[in-house]
Amino acid sequence: MLKIYNKSDIGLVRNTNQDAFKCGSFSENSAWAVVCDGMGGANGGNVASTIAVNKISDSILSSYNENMSDDEIKELITSSIANANITIHDKAKNDEDLFGMGTTVVATLISEGTAHIAHAGDSRAYIIDKSGIKQLTEDHSMVQEMLNNGDITEQQAKKHPQKNIITRALGVKPSIQIDYCECKFNSDSLLLICTDGLTNYIDAEQIFKISQTINAENLTDKLIMMAKNCGGGDNITVVIIEN
């Protein structure tokens, strides 16, 4: 039976929480979650992330059924994100106070032992089991591109001054390129989706080590506390789905 644990925290520096998330389950064996990290202006980030989470969640809830094929689930998630992108872009275009707003997104739908994941931006998904932790998403960021090109090392990437500059976000352009992947979600596994307020302060090995010492229900609180203890310079959102 799938269990879902979640928490969002403003962190120690920001005045508002521009992260947004929703999650839920359809049955014992199927669940979904959407996590967004907004950006742009005093209110723009809040607006963009809230629109994205609501639009994507509503679409998944109204259209998913347990007889869907893998291809149909992929189409549902990616089209939901694409439609949210159009809504955010149109709203930003028609309201000068919201000009330039955008949001990252990572969305998952777990069905029949498979986790379907789509994302844009630098919010992440990880799969965790007894053997280790694996990052399922690749950041759409300037630093990730530099890393891929061999211009900087992993260690340099962690401390790079431009690490928060993302190259893809919902709402910035009329269309959005969405990355998609699938992975087996076996028993005794955890799926973690989170904003960069977690991963900028805690690396994957730290996440794995702590996941082996406490239960999933307490892991959300522990990870957020660790991120805050390491600086807490951003909003932090964590959703954990346990199989």
Q: Are 220 and 6 in contact (CB under 8 A)?
A: yes
The conformation of residue 106, written as its DSSP 8-state character, comes to E
Q: Are 226 and 207 in contact (CB under 8 A)?
A: no
Q: What is the structure's pLDDT at 41?
A: 64
Provide the residue ranges of all domains of the chain, joining segments of one domain with +: 3-242
Q: What is the structure's pLDDT at 137?
A: 98
Strands 105-111 and 124-129 come out as unpaired
138 to 34, 146, 180: CA distances (angstroms)? 17, 13, 10
Q: What kind of fold does domain 3-242 have according to CATH?
A: Phosphatase 2c; domain 1 (3.60.40)
Q: What is the structure's pLDDT at 157?
A: 82
The whole-model pTM stands at 0.96
pLDDT, tens digit, for every residue of 57-97?
A: 999 999 999 999 999 999 999 999 999 999 999 999 999 89
- Give every residue of the chain whose pLDDT is below 50, as ranges: none
77 to 107, 136, 155, 171, 239: CA distances (angstroms)? 7, 16, 34, 17, 18
What is the signed CA dihedral for 153, 128, 194, 62, rounded to 10 degrees? 130
